[in-house]
């Protein structure tokens, strides 16, 4: 286990896991406890930390990247030192490299290529505006986020453009498949070297292959210097001519004929994106003619490399630089171009032959090569078969490295040094081979119950190609893993697809709401229960329907709802008779004549047989006026004196 895992740097950054390893540094995932966020820590390897030159370059990188702030460049948050540990704190990217993406997809569509190339070019434009040259643009240093955003990373060999120095002999600068010719020669470089490397990346995106390939880095470097690749359309037929022209102009071997700035490249890409039928003017490419300088960064080990590539790489031999505009269209001067190409081929052959004679063949005829042991071809054979074969008894075959290889089974020799066909130096017979371990395998762990998004990242980092499938689950909480396919415990090859089934939670079952109108309350309750619905409130309402009959429901009949939905109902009840409004009452003055009978007379007046007045009077009063109150209308008024009816009449109260 890495000794930094679990440590706290500067009492702030907790180192969690290794997420990448480079030439001179290791990148860790860490947690910043001060800002409560995850970051990436780029830590210089221990073996380099004591070397002042490496420390200087690491410091230069941190200073260079700290100057940059752009959405297409990985952000740098901090540069620090904890004891003897030098490190850079960077943005933690949740994504994959463009190289990994290309390995999965192969050639990309021209639209996707344009989309990615524009973002990379914008990142370079920003870096160049700060006088920073990346010097190592390649798909491995380009991160793709899940939303398609591109982030250019690893300015580990970046430097300021005002540093005019060239590079020491033998120093490897950049990755050989993407280096510009001037980088391969060890010449002075500028912003246009990054543009060349971006052109190579665009070529690879469009075709799914590299423009130059070979058995050794030197073979590839020589092709960058002395060759022009076949146009991308030779491999993929439907590439728009304008995009192909932009790509070939970006990777023109002559810096003066490339785009002079990333801004110019962006302008052409934007024009092309707006109108794919536009025409892009590209000057005729030219290459460095003649042998590579003796003090070049990439030294030539095999003179035959000057005359053509090894392996599957294909290219056109070309002439030395010509004045711009001196070429005529090929269809008008086929014979002239044929002669020119033939002359160039002969010239390159003669240069290679001369270099071969001067550097390999003994000019005094004393090499004795016919007596030396020649190197056999072992690639493709089983290592165990080779060491057991008496035909190879004269050779000492040493396993230099065992590596995982998806194309070869375990035990197959996939590379050798020296290469076949060469002669050993006198007294030498050792062949170092690289042997395949077969495809790298990954054992699927049990991820059930873990966060689905986290598992996707874990599997991606393990070298698999995960996809998500969201399913209903009664037992597993939403967002957590239900299972994987292949299942836990299965051993599969790296690069294989794996499906992660993630819970959507319990499935919501739907049902149709019955028509409850006309049912009794009991019937409605049963009808709802039969379709897994719930009877809610029962609200009585006056209705002309029969008492107890359902006359309303809160959820419309025949609608579709989730099971266990509550449905309220309204039930009919009898209408109550309205209270009659009280009639208007009227008070009248009624005159009673007193009979001359006795001194004291009891007078009683009734309205509709209801006593309205009673009082004692004397005969000498003659008459008595009383007030009678009754509803408006005619009423029967009766008068009694001392219990004797003395008068009865119908009186209008109004």
Catalytic residues: 136
Residue 468 burial (CB count, 10 A):
13
Are 103 and 495 a contacting pair, CB within 8 Å?
Answer: yes
Write out the H or E segment, with its range, that includes residue 207: helix 191-207
The CA distances from residue 354 to 55, 139, 369, in Å, are 43, 37, 19
The CA distances from residue 126 to 91, 150, 199, 247, in Å, are 18, 14, 18, 20
Q: Which of 67, 60, 17, 61 is nearest to 41 (CA)?
A: 17
Residue 317 burial (CB count, 10 A):
21
Are 229 and 204 a contacting pair, CB within 8 Å?
Answer: no
State how far Cα 62 lies from the chain centre.
27
Q: Which of 129, 163, 138 is nearest to 56 (CA)?
A: 163
Write out the H or E segment, with its range, that includes residue 228: strand 228-229
Q: Which of 223, 217, 203, 206 is nearest to 314 (CA)?
A: 223
**Coarse DSSP helix, strand, coil percentages of the chain, rounded to the nearest 5 percent:** 25, 30, 45
Angle at the Cα of 192 from the Cα atoms of 123 and 214, rounded to 5 degrees:
100
Are 252 and 258 a contacting pair, CB within 8 Å?
Answer: yes
Radius of gyration of the chain (CA): 49
Whole-angstrom distance, CA of residue 178 vs CA of residue 310: 17
Whole-angstrom distance, CA of residue 299 vs CA of residue 384: 35
Are 212 and 314 a contacting pair, CB within 8 Å?
Answer: no
Token digits for 546? 């029969």
Beta strand 37-44 with 25-32: parallel, antiparallel or unpaired?
antiparallel
CB-based burial of residue 335 (10 Å sphere; 0-12 exposed, 13-18 middle, 19+ buried)?
exposed
Are 575 and 542 a contacting pair, CB within 8 Å?
Answer: yes
Whole-angstrom distance, CA of residue 180 vs CA of residue 287: 11
CA dihedral 111, 118, 259, 181 (to 10 degrees): -90
Residue 654 burial (CB count, 10 A):
8
**Helix 191-207 with 110-129: angle, nearest 10 deg:** 170
Whole-angstrom distance, CA of residue 443 vs CA of residue 487: 10
């Amino acid at each position: 286990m890495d000794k930094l895992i679990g440590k706290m740097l500067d009492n702030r950054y907790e180192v969690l896991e290794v997420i990448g390893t480079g030439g001179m540094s290791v990148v860790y995932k860490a947690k910043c406890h001060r800002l409560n966020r995850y970051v990436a820590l780029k830590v210089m390897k221990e073996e380099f930390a004591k070397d002042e030159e490496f420390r200087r370059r690491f410091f230069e990188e941190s200073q260079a990247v700290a100057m940059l702030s752009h959405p297409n460049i990985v952000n740098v948050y901090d540069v620090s030192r904890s004891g003897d540990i030098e490190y850079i704190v960077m943005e933690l990217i949740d994504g994959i490299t463009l190289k990994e993406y290309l390995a999965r997809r192969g050639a990309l569509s021209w639209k996707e290529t344009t989309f990615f190339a524009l973002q990379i070019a914008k990142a370079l434009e920003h870096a160049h505006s700060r006088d920073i040259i990346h010097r190592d643009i390649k798909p491995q240093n380009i991160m793709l986020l899940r939303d398609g955003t591109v982030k250019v990373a690893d300015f580990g060999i970046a430097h300021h453009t005002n540093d005019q120095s060239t590079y020491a002999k033998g120093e490897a600068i950049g990755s050989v498949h993407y280096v510009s010719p001037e980088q391969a020669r060890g010449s002075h470089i500028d912003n246009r070297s990054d543009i060349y490397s971006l052109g190579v990346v665009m070529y690879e995106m469009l075709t799914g292959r590299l423009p130059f390939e070979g058995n050794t880095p030197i073979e590839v470097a020589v092709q960058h210097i002395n060759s022009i690749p076949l146009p991308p359309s030779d491999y993929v037929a439907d590439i728009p001519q304008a995009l192909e022209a932009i790509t070939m102009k970006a990777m023109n071997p002559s810096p003066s004929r490339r785009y002079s700035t990333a801004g110019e490249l962006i302008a052409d890409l934007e024009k092309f994106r707006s109108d794919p039928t536009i025409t892009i003017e590209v000057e005729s490419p030219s290459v460095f003619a003649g042998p590579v300088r003796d003090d070049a960064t990439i030294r030539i080990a095999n003179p035959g490399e000057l005359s053509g590539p090894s392996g599957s790489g294909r290219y056109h031999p070309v002439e030395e630089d010509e004045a711009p505009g001196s070429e005529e269209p090929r269809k008008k001067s086929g014979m002239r171009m044929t002669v020119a190409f033939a002359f160039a081929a002969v010239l390159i052959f003669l240069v290679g032959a001369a270099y071969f004679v001067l550097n390999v063949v003994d000019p005094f005829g004393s090499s004795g090569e016919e007596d030396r042991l020649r190197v056999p071809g072992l690639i493709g054979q089983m290592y165990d078969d080779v060491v057991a074969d008496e035909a190879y008894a004269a050779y000492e075959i040493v396993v230099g490295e065992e590596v995982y290889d998806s194309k070869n089974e375990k035990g197959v020799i996939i590379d050798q040094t020296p290469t076949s066909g060469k002669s050993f130096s006198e007294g030498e017979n050792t062949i170092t081979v690289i042997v395949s371990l077969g495809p790298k395998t990954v054992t699927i762990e049990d991820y059930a119950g873990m966060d689905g998004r986290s598992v996707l990242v874990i599997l991606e980092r393990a070298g698999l190609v995960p996809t998500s499938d969201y399913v209903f689950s009664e037992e597993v909480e939403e967002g957590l893993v239900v299972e994987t396919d292949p299942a836990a415990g299965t051993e599969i090859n790296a690069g294989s697809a794996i499906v992660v089934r993630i819970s959507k939670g319990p499935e919501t079952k739907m049902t149709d709401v019955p028509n409850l109108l006309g049912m009794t309350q009991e019937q409605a309750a049963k009808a709802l229960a039969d379709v897994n619905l719930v009877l809610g409130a029962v609200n009585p309402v006056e209705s002309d329907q029969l008492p107890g009959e359902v006359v309303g429901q809160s959820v419309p009949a025949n609608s579709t709802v989730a099971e266990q939905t509550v449905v309220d109902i309204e039930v009919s009840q009898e209408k109550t008779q309205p209270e009659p409004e009280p009639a208007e009452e009227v008070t009248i003055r009624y005159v009673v004549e007193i009979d001359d009978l006795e001194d004291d007379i009891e007078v009683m007046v009734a309205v509709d047989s209801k006593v309205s007045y009673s009082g004692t009077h004397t005969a000498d009063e003659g008459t008595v006026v009383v007030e009678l109150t009754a509803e408006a209308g005619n009423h029967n008024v009766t008068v009694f004196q001392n219990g004797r009816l003395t008068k009865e009449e119908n009186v209008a109260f109004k």
